[in-house]
Amino acid sequence: MFLHMGKNFLITGANGHLGSVIVEKLAKEGNNIAAVVRTPTGKLVFDNVQHFVADLTDDDQAKKLVDDVYAEFKTIDGVVLTAGGFAMGNLETTGKSQLEQMFAVNFYTAYYLVRHLLAKAMQQPNGSRFIFFGARTALDHGAAKNSIAYAFSKALLFQLSGLVNEIGKGSNIVSCIIVPSIIDTQENRNSMPNSDPSKWVSKEDIASMVSFLCFETGNPIRDSSIKMYGNI
Ligand SMILES: NC(=O)c1ccc[n+]([C@@H]2O[C@H](COP(=O)([O-])OP(=O)(O)OC[C@H]3O[C@@H](n4cnc5c(N)ncnc54)[C@H](OP(=O)(O)O)[C@@H]3O)[C@@H](O)[C@H]2O)c1
């Protein structure tokens, strides 16, 4: 792939509602994107977007992905981890398999990548930026009681983001966690037809925040969680 002059990003969940908007924004700004998908769809065709296929719940696939992206890009300046999933469930209905499923899709998908990526990113003279996606549910017990496995799995990402900051201290590694309430996606509009989407947070606003955090504008920021709750 011909590399543009911009920064190099690895973005997971690149097919998703939010991930696809972030890929498009950063690609249009002239950056090079490793767009990681689990299921190839052929969407998001730009000459500075290269697709990589991996099931990130698999440690070996995560390692191969990191090796493949580094072979192609040489450095990764921003890691944007949007891969994730949601499930309802209270104490009665949430057992081992429900917990494992949510831990896999929300935590393992981020943890395995970080595990294989961080040491390489720390070798880069300019370090790297890591952006995780938590959820308001992880910080709000009222909401968490009806989506217990989701809430616990997202809560772990706050710890992971903090750990990345701690390990990467002194190597210009900066990690942030963005905490959306409800994102205005077609899926959410379909599943909550009686809610007012104007109160939700837009994908475009989140994509702008990612861009802000990953460029010089974000340089003074350290170890932050950014609540993007819209007007909820
Ligand atoms: N939507 C909301 O209201 C909301 C609120 C709070 C937080 N969040 C968080 O924000 C992030 C983006 O949300 P979204 O609505 O854009 O979600 P989405 O449309 O469901 O996209 C999530 C993406 O994650 C990918 N993914 C899932 N499991 C994977 C795996 N094992 N390996 C690799 N990729 C995997 C999927 O890839 P494939 O399509 O390729 O299968 C999917 O495209 C998520 O982390 C979500 O939890 C969302």
Measured in Å, residue 6 CA sits from the centre of ligand 1 at 26
Nearest CA to ligand 1 atom 13: 18
pLDDT at 222: 85
In Å, what is the CA distance from 87 to each residue of 9, 31, 110, 147, 223? 29, 34, 18, 6, 28
Report residue 84 as tokens: 């994730």
Q: Is the pTM of this model over 0.85?
A: yes
Reply yes or no on whether the pLDDT at 1 is more than 70. Answer: no
Report residue 28 as tokens: 């249009």
Q: What is the pLDDT of residues 146-205, one digit of tens each?
A: 999 999 999 999 999 999 999 999 999 999 999 999 999 999 999 999 999 999 999 999
Q: What is the pLDDT of residues 100-118, one digit of tens each?
A: 999 999 999 999 999 999 9
Tokens 């973005």 map to which residue? Answer: 11
Strand pairing partners for 131? 80, 176
Whether 11 contacts 33, CB under 8 Å: yes
pLDDT at 2: 64
Whether 225 contacts 174, CB under 8 Å: no
By most ligand atoms within 8 Å of CB, the mutation choice from 82, 200, 225 for ligand 1 is: 82
Nearest to 78 by CA among 124, 16, 20, 135: 124
Termini Cα distance of the chain: 43
Pocket lined around ligand 1, Cβ cut-off 6 Å: 12-13, 15-19, 37-39, 55-57, 82-86, 105, 109, 133, 135, 180, 182-183, 185, 188
Write the burial class of residue 186 (CB in 10 Å: 0-12 exposed, 13-18 middle, 19+ buried).
exposed
